[in-house]
Amino acid sequence: MEGSGSGIYENHPYVPRDLKLPGFVPGFLSQSTILGVYGLSSLLVVLLTWLFSGRSPKKSKIDRWLMCWWAFTGLTHMILEGYFAFSPEFYKDKTACYLAEVWKEYSKGDSRYAARDAGVVAVEGLTAVLEGPACLLAVVQTVCAVLLSFAVLNMIFMMIWQICNS
């Protein structure tokens, strides 16, 4: 194999085998560790969203589950896909950074990510920058609608109180 000493063709687990990844560093974390951290952090996000959304007596369970979903998916888009979109050399990471490890492992199933395919990078970048914040905006909008309704009710109550005390 030509250039194996120059770092052009590194030993990597991706297909095609001749994919050029200069400076490739194998992953440090196991697949189960990556999935465990992701699962626990996702569970924490859903749990916290569920608890905070329960503070509003007007929210149905469906609305609360939707808020959990939007929070989970928004953070996934912004954090995971944002890291991919803005870290073009994740495969060179030597520090066992969790997000780099996620993409090294994910790239084993779809090497377009390691190869930095322009279409994949564009879609992931748009998803991270537009869809992620839009999902979180949906959560905030739902919370603000509840707070606004409380504020309006409070304002009406204060007007009635002022009229009664005049």
pLDDT for 6 equals 46
Q: What is the pLDDT of residues 91-127, one digit of tens each?
A: 999 999 999 999 999 999 999 999 999 999 999 999 9
Residues in the chain: 166
> Contact at 8 Å (CB) between 100 and 93?
yes
> Contact at 8 Å (CB) between 113 and 84?
yes
Task: Average the pLDDT over 32-52 and give the result.
Answer: 96
pLDDT for 79 equals 97
pLDDT for 63 equals 87
Task: Provide the pLDDT confidence category of residue 163 given band limits of 50, 70 and 90.
Answer: low
Q: Where are the domains of the chain?
A: 4-138
Q: How many CB atoms lie within 10 A of CB 75?
A: 19
| Number of DSSP helices (H) and strands (E) in the chain, helices first | 6, 0
Among 107, 128, 100, 109, CA closest to 29: 100
Task: Average the pLDDT over 36-50 and give the result.
Answer: 97
pLDDT for 2 equals 42
